[in-house]
A and B are shown apart, each in its own frame.
Chain A
Amino acid sequence: MPQQTTPKLTATQARGLLRLGDVVIPGDGVLPPFSRAVAATEADRMLPYLSDADRSSLLLLLAVCGRLPRPAVRALVALAAGWRRTPEPAAAGLRMAHIGIKGVVHSLYWSDLNRLGIHEAIGYDAQVDEAAYERSLGITADPTTEEDQ
């Protein structure tokens, strides 16, 4: 019977994610750098859903970044982001890396998982008032839940 086990980032891969993230999102006076906003372990929430091939590629990339000095990580990110300057088919490989890097880093950071005010800093205040909807259905909130909040 096939059985899937979900890998988690190793220490080296976690270091690689944070290095990569800080190159992509270095932070500014208001927004924190990636490594201060995202715990590397939060990437584990994505891993089960990736295809086997994508997960292997991602983990390899992160492991490499975990061993490279920061300037080399920056050069790698710049190379991938500069795919337009590269002829095909080599550009396709760079695009793949570029999209993969952006996908992981931006998804984790801009989701503002730790409620560090990232959404507020960019004016994102979208919400859905579920409590009002439930009141309209005649559903009353559980008072213990409200107290917990």
Chain B
Amino acid sequence: MSERYDVIVVGAGTSGLNLARDLAAGGLHCLVLEAGGRYDRRTYPRTEVDGSAQLFWGGGLELNADASLAILRPKVVGGGSIVNQALMDRFDDVALDDFRAASGVGLFTEAALAPYYGRAEANICLQTVPEERRNGNAAIFAEGFTRNGYRHAPLRRAQADCRFEDGNSCVECLSGCRIDSKQSTAITALPAAERDGAVLLADVEVTLVAERPDRVSVTGLVGKPGGARVEQTWTADRLVLAAGAIGNSRLLLASGFGSHLPALGHGFFTHPQYMNFGVFDEPVRAHSGPLQNYKSADPGFRRQGFKLENVFAGPSSIAMLMPGFGAAHLALMRRYDHLGCIEVCVRDTTPGRIRLNRKGAVVIDKRLGEEELRRRDAGAAAIRNIFLSMGARELVEGDLGIGLHLMGGCAIGTDPARSVVDPDFTVHRSRRIHAADSSVFPNAPGINPALTIAALSIRAGESILAAAGR
């Protein structure tokens, strides 16, 4: 007879581990199941090929149905907080007003969320990237913004000490931070959860969940990729789904919840991102030091529905994004350290849909509408202005759209016909299943979601503890 838990959390990312910490601290016996592996600073993959393969679903990337977007979906203990750039912004009034209008949930105001944002921020170290450490790409971004009359602002990142004086480059930490500076939930929330008795099982791919009058059961395949996998079932009083927009939708659909949750899988958003490059005569060394210093803070950009980010990536990723093949592609890659790079991140408005095909595999129907294309092109035009004003010799548009902020599919709301999760973060018509991660977003905020996911998870933890009588 297997042990029965108070709560099972599926997914050990930003939401799952924040919830596990709070639920364990509240006295609940907590089991966390994560499909990916558990690494630490000494064991993170050391090459780009291994980082992509081992830390993301699909061995690196998944594609939407028409292959217009490469979906990057983390699969590792710590989730997105392991592989992201740890940008931590609160949502503004624009995002929260739209959330409230779409969901009918009163929590989505700056005042109502402020205490939860405050607690989320208190759980991690937050720093502004030091100006004096900025690399050539950041300098191009800042100066180009100024020359064009655009407004930018320094970034606030979840980092403790990147030790740039040692010559460290954050691009290396896109496959996990090797000096524990990045404030992933694997080093912030997980140790606290485990101290309070939470149990984490990695390499468990949950395949089915079921709710009974007196319990929930969770079935999964245990084992590392490529090895033998064994099916196992766990039971608990409650279940928290924290497997992200695609993971939560897939799991509920596969478990038959679609029949009474008409909105399940609908309303999927990704903040489609397009990296654009300027080729400069002088070395830019965009890979060196802090990867990002600045973000756009231009009200005009916000109104137009996009933002620009000061980003870059390792050689394999940049090679993926460079158009063409053969000698021409190679010539561009030979200029790798002369590339400036700015990304346009689109606030998407056309909802996508997550569904399952006949074999039970996830299909992501997500297209860019005319409005998103207009936003992408407006952002690309601003990037051209920036690069040209800074003397770029050549401009190169990235070959591929990227979906990195995966949101929706289990939208929060008051109306069960249009949402999946109620204002107390409980699945409609359920008493025992909850969700609070990015899957509950009712639309795309146009702002990096990590801090808000953490804040919502802290708020959801209160509801779950109350429901459990704690």
Contacts and interface: CB of A to CB of B under 8 A. Distances in A.
Contacts of A81: 323-325
A126 B231 contact: no
A111 B225 contact: no
A121 interface: yes
A26 B330 contact: yes
Contacts of B223: 4
Nearest to B165: A132
A96 B364 CA distance: 14
Contact of A129 (B54, B163, B227): B163
Contact of A126 (B50, B70, B163, B314): B314
Interface in A97-143: 99, 102-103, 106-113, 118-119, 121-130, 132-133, 136
B334 interface: yes
A69 interface: no
Contact of A1 (B60, B65, B231): B231
A14 to B, nearest CB: 16
Q: Determine the interface band of chain B, counting residues with CB < 8 A from chain A.
A: 35 or more
Contacts of B168: 127-129
Interface stretch (B116-124, B236-244, B266-274, B281-289): B281-289
Contacts of B231: 1-2
Contact of A123 (B228, B229, B337): B337
Contacts of A123: 283, 285, 336-338
Contacts of A96: 63, 67
A26 B326 contact: yes
Interface in A19-61: 23-28, 30-31, 45-51, 53-54
B230 A1 contact: yes
B336 A124 contact: yes
A87 to B, nearest CB: 12
A17 B231 CA distance: 35
- The size class of the interface chain A forms with chain B is 35 or more
B12 interface: no
Contact of A45 (B50, B178, B319): B50
B184 interface: no
A128 to B, nearest CB: 5
Top 10 nearest A-B pairs (CB, nearest first) are A123-B337, A48-B226, A126-B169, A49-B59, A6-B226, A122-B336, A106-B319, A110-B315, A95-B67, A50-B59
30 contacts: A4-B227, A24-B325, A26-B326, A28-B327, A45-B53, A46-B53, A46-B59, A47-B226, A50-B53, A51-B57, A81-B324, A89-B66, A95-B67, A103-B60, A103-B320, A110-B48, A110-B315, A110-B333, A111-B316, A112-B47, A121-B334, A122-B333, A122-B337, A124-B336, A125-B288, A126-B288, A129-B163, A129-B167, A129-B168, A130-B41
Given A2-B229, A27-B330, A96-B63, 18 more contacts: A1-B231, A2-B231, A6-B227, A25-B326, A28-B330, A46-B49, A47-B59, A50-B53, A50-B59, A77-B325, A102-B399, A107-B53, A109-B319, A110-B316, A111-B47, A123-B338, A128-B169, A128-B179
Interface of A: 1-6, 23-28, 30-31, 45-51, 53-54, 77-78, 81, 88-89, 92-93, 95-96, 99, 102-103, 106-113, 118-119, 121-130, 132-133, 136
